[in-house]
Amino acid sequence: MKREKIFNTIGLTLLAACFLFSLARVVRRGEAAADGTVDGRAVVRFAHWQLEGGLREAMDRLARDYEAVNPNVRVEQIAVPERTYKQWVRTQLIGGTAPEIVQLGQGADDELLARFIMPISEWVDKPNPYNAGTDLENTPWRETFVDNMEAGWNYRPNLAEYYGASMSMFTVRIFYNRDLWRRLLGDTPVPKTYDEFIEICERVRSASETTGRVVLPIAGSRENGSMLAFRLFSTQTQRLVRELDREHTLRPENIDVALAFLRGEWSVDSRGYHDGLAIMRETGLHMQPGFIQLRRDDAAFYFLQERAMMIATGSWDAPSFRAQADFEIGVFAIPAPSRDHPRYGANVLGQVSEANTGTGLSFGIVQGAARSDLALDFLHFATSRANNETFAQVSGWLPSVVGVNPTELIEPFVPVADGYLGGFDPTLSMLGANTLLTVQRSLNRLVDRAGSVASFTEIMREQLPDALREDLGRYERSTLLNVQRQDVILAALAMHGGAAMLSNQTGKLSEMLEAQNRAESRREWVLEHLADGR
Amino acid sequence: MPAPRRPFTSTIPILTLFLVLATQARTAEPVSDATADAMLQQAWKDASSNLFLEAAQGFAKAEGREARLGGAITLLARQPKTASNIEAAAKSLTALVEENSRDTVGVMARYYLGRVEQVHRVPSNPAAAAAHFRRLLEEHPGEFWTEQGAIKLALIELHEEVGRDERLARLTRHAEYASSMRHRPARRDMHLLLADVILRFQLGEALALEQLLAADEAGIVRSAPRAQVWVQIAELARETGREDIARRYYESFLASYKRDTRRKLVSERLAALSANTQEVAQQ
């Protein structure tokens, strides 16, 4: 009885201590949020969902370096798991407790950005002060990024505002286990052509059968399998997409490709589409059976546990893999068929260019942040050429700023600028959820041993038209919502800016009118196809 | 014996009454012109920053035609979107037009009545929208919002189900009007729309080229659409035998857009044009 009482007392004391500790933390944080200082130092907090190896260390290094030159500032990093980031950031923003800087992307949309994220358009045309003394000294901040800050969440055409500055960019490559390669394939070099790649897959399979050690040629999953198979598919639609260029842009968008399908200008029987399926099947057969049901973690396990020789994934996985693998990792570009390939060459224009690889890992400043001036200063600091180089070296991720020299580890991921525009993939390059789902749920019929190109084609013949129509309908509705919102903003810009705004040819009003009129023109064209039930 | 002291709490109702009266007296004070203008400006600023709720509250506090216009327009964005909000906005805009259709507020109200019918009301009523835009063209030619209305009218008329000849006739009419537009952004957008229609309905590449050249001359603001238009001009010029224009635009594209997946194709096109020119020169 007495013993029970002692335990209860200890328990209660611990509980009370925990409560008091938490309370103190919350109060301290509340104080910090109220006046933006802790221990007399101004606080800048930034949140992101990148838990990959190396990334947090790189961000931490930038934070400490910033503190070294700004001793009155304390920079805190908040890493939130990807699965909960969307809910977390929304709750923080709505509750007014968000950190000064948040990673943009998960759960973001134009409405959220407009309401909670501070536009940085005012600063993007001015130089980044932390580039002083370099050849970027007088270059507008926007132009110091390899994509001119135009990709993803940095610039929102519907709002005609810049919101984010990004730290990195991403490309997809094939990673391989060098030790296993040497054991099973000797000194065979990495494949340069598609045929060499398939031959290596077959050799791995037969070596695996001979030695009794089960090693898959390629670790697949819904995400990783698709990265490789879709990329190869898109080599087969390179010429087809050129034929669908009704507007003479040399780069029809996925919406144009879908509309051309509804007009009957191409079909699931078109040669490019058919051969795209064939090449997907050929590659898919070298992954584990049923890989479409697996997720990226499963594929990573296969590779890291040396049960697969290769895996196709993005540059973001490189540092994690290097940290976790007990073997040496090599990287090579996805070998696509060339123009003179006897089976697939007729559909190919040439090597696919990655010149338009957009930047990512984009950060925005929260509207009304206590120290938005410091948050902006930290973003300038982190995206200066010197600090982006530090970030790239420590994280092993690609840089986002022009002129940053890639290290040896990053070199294989640098986007290939030379080449032609790629074709579309079987999801029409993510036209929408319905097309994606339609393709994904039937992929087994294509890449399983019992499946075939013909059986997958039959399913697509039946289901693809409706899926495309539904996605085009969704596109039309979301365009309408943006157009409606723009109507209000346009009136406000005109009235708030007065005569000066109306006569400004290049200002925000002009920019938004251009965006709205372009969007409405395209929407009418989509409606034209949906209305007549093509 | 001294009278017992009244407890402090008994004074609370009196203090509350005093505070309420003081607040009411304060709110009853006439708002100065400068304050009213500042309130209105803040409301427009909020609306331009997507803060529609705050803007609506600001317009509700302000007075006058401009505040009523702001209130009606922000109603179009109020969530959740309801038919009654749209109807209330339409009523308010109609009242503003009926009171005075000639001042800036009246012209804007007419334009937004057209937009209510075109994109806000469910189902939309393109005929009613077109009627408002035509009224603007008749009564207020050259006004900023009239020219925007002309683009929206073209959008309706050029996508109606008509034969090729009729579409071409409408297109010619809008193209003539486009060249007389006073505001460059409107001229740019009208030419771009006409080029879209010509290419999509396959009404003639030379015709599309003229529209795109006019749009570029008016000035395309955003970088990505400008790249698109330059490629379109170069391609159409090459296909219609206007090689000097093609060369100029291919070169401008290559000089300005260093990271574009079309660069190789454009370089090849340019090289082929140069080869053609050399061949002709040698002959």
pLDDT tens digits along A135-160: 999 999 999 999 999 887 999 887 88
Please identify, among B124, B140, B156, the residue that sits at the C-terminal boundary of a domain: B140
What is the separation, in whole angstroms, between the first and last Cα of chain B?
130
- What are the two backbone dihedrals, phi and then psi, of residue A40, each rounded to the nearest 5 degrees? 75, 0
pLDDT-derived band at A115, boundaries 50, 70, 90: confident
Least confident residue range of A14-18, A316-320, A353-357: A14-18
Q: Which residue of chain B is at minimal alpha-carbon distance from A260?
A: B200
Q: How far apart are CA A342 and CA A352, in angstroms?
A: 19
Check B148 against A513: CB less than 8 A apart: yes
Paired tokens of A35: 């006046």
Provide the 8-state DSSP code for A175: E
> Quick check: is B150 in a domain?
no
Region A113-121 average pLDDT: 91
> Quick check: is B76 in a domain?
yes
For testing the chain A interface, which of B49, B54, B192, B228 should be mutated: the one with the most A CBs within 10 Å?
B49
pLDDT-derived band at B229, boundaries 50, 70, 90: very high
Q: Which residues of B touch A243 (CB under 8 A)?
A: none
Q: Which residue of chain A is at minimal alpha-carbon distance from B40?
A: A496
Please identify, among B105, B125, B140, the residue that sits at the C-terminal boundary of a domain: B140
CB atoms within 10 A of CB A148: 20
CB nearest A484 (choices: B44, B76, B151):
B76
What A457-466 contacts at long range (C-beta under 8 Å, 24+ apart), as own/partner pairs, is A457/A268, A457/A269, A457/A274, A457/A277, A460/A268, A461/A267, A461/A268, A463/A438, A464/A261, A464/A268, A464/A435, A464/A438, A465/A261, A465/A262, A466/A434
> Quick check: is B268 in a domain?
yes
Q: Which residue of chain A is at minimal alpha-carbon distance from B122?
A: A480
Nearest to A387 by CA among A132, A170, A149: A132
Angle at A424 between CA A422 and CA A426, to 5 degrees: 140
Residue A282 Cα, gap to closest chain B Cα (Å): 28
Check A487 against B235: CB less than 8 A apart: no
CB nearest B52 (choices: A146, A421, A488):
A488
Provide the 8-state DSSP code for B119: I
> Quick check: is B19 in a domain?
no
Check A484 against B77: CB less than 8 A apart: yes
> Quick check: is B179 in a domain?
no
pLDDT given for residue A22 in this prediction: 76
Check B199 against A355: CB less than 8 A apart: no
Check B193 against A517: CB less than 8 A apart: yes
Check B231 against A421: CB less than 8 A apart: no
> Quick check: is B125 in a domain?
yes
CB nearest A502 (choices: B144, B196, B266):
B144
Provide the 8-state DSSP code for A425: -
Evaluate if residue B17 carries a pLDDT over 80: no
pLDDT-derived band at B210, boundaries 50, 70, 90: very high
Q: How many domains does chain B have?
A: 2
pLDDT given for residue B10 in this prediction: 54
Question: The dihedral of CA A266, A268, A274, A279: what is its sign?
Answer: positive
Q: Which residues of B touch A502 (CB under 8 A)?
A: 144, 183
Paired tokens of A332: 């090579």
Paired tokens of B272: 């082929």
Q: How far apart are CA A25 and CA A19, in angstroms?
A: 10
Please identify, among B122, B140, B158, the residue that sits at the C-terminal boundary of a domain: B140
Check A518 against B225: CB less than 8 A apart: yes
- How far is residue A9 from each of residues A3, A13, A22, measured CA to CA in Å? 10, 6, 20
> Quick check: is B109 in a domain?
yes
Region B178-207 average pLDDT: 97
Region A456-481 average pLDDT: 96
For testing the chain B interface, which of A150, A510, A528 should be mutated: the one with the most B CBs within 10 Å?
A510
> Quick check: is B273 in a domain?
yes
Q: Which domain holds residue B130?
A: 48-140
pLDDT given for residue A448 in this prediction: 87
Q: Is A263 on the interface with B (CB under 8 A)?
A: no
Q: How far apart are CA A80 and CA A89, in angstroms?
A: 9
* ipTM given for this complex: 0.88
Nearest to A57 by CA among A303, A300, A313, A323: A323
Evaluate if residue A24 carries a pLDDT over 80: no
- How far is residue B77 from each of residues A119, A145, A284, A513, B8, measured CA to CA in Å? 21, 35, 48, 17, 49
- Residue A419 and residue B264 in contact, taking contact as beta carbons nearer than 8 Å: yes
pTM to 2 decimals? 0.87
Give me the total of CB pairs closer than 8 Å, taking one residue from chain A and one from chain B: 164
Q: Which residues of A touch B119 (CB under 8 A)?
A: 480, 483-484, 487, 520
CB atoms within 10 A of CB A139: 15
Q: Which residues of A touch B239 (CB under 8 A)?
A: 248
Check B219 against A487: CB less than 8 A apart: no
Q: Which residue of chain A is at minimal alpha-carbon distance from B69?
A: A491
Least confident residue range of A150-154, A383-387, A512-516: A150-154
B22-62 residue pLDDT tens:
544 444 455 567 787 889 999 999 998 888 999 999 999 99
Q: Which residue of chain B is at minimal alpha-carbon distance from A250?
A: B262
Residue B9 Cα, gap to closest chain A Cα (Å): 32
Check B185 against A510: CB less than 8 A apart: yes
Residue B48 Cα, gap to closest chain A Cα (Å): 5
Q: Which residues of A touch B221 (CB under 8 A)?
A: 505-506, 510-511, 514
Task: Tell me which amino acid residue A9 is.
Answer: T
Check A146 against B202: CB less than 8 A apart: no
Q: Which residues of B touch A110 (CB under 8 A)?
A: 50
For testing the chain B interface, which of A144, A479, A521 should be mutated: the one with the most B CBs within 10 Å?
A521
pLDDT given for residue A346 in this prediction: 97
Nearest to B155 by CA among A205, A442, A524, A93: A524
A positions 131-170 inside 8 Å of B (CB): 146-148, 150, 157, 159
CB nearest A250 (choices: B46, B185, B265):
B265
pLDDT given for residue A65 in this prediction: 97
- What are the two backbone dihedrals, phi and then psi, of residue A187, each rounded to the nearest 5 degrees? -100, 25
pLDDT given for residue A27 in this prediction: 62
- What are the two backbone dihedrals, phi and then psi, of residue A181, each rounded to the nearest 5 degrees? -55, -50
The full DSSP string for A496-511 is HHHHHHHH-SSSHHHH
Paired tokens of B95: 């009242």
CB nearest B231 (choices: A150, A250, A495):
A250
pLDDT-derived band at A429, boundaries 50, 70, 90: confident
Least confident residue range of A28-32, A115-119, A205-209, A450-454: A28-32
A positions 452-491 inside 8 Å of B (CB): 480, 483-485, 487-489, 491
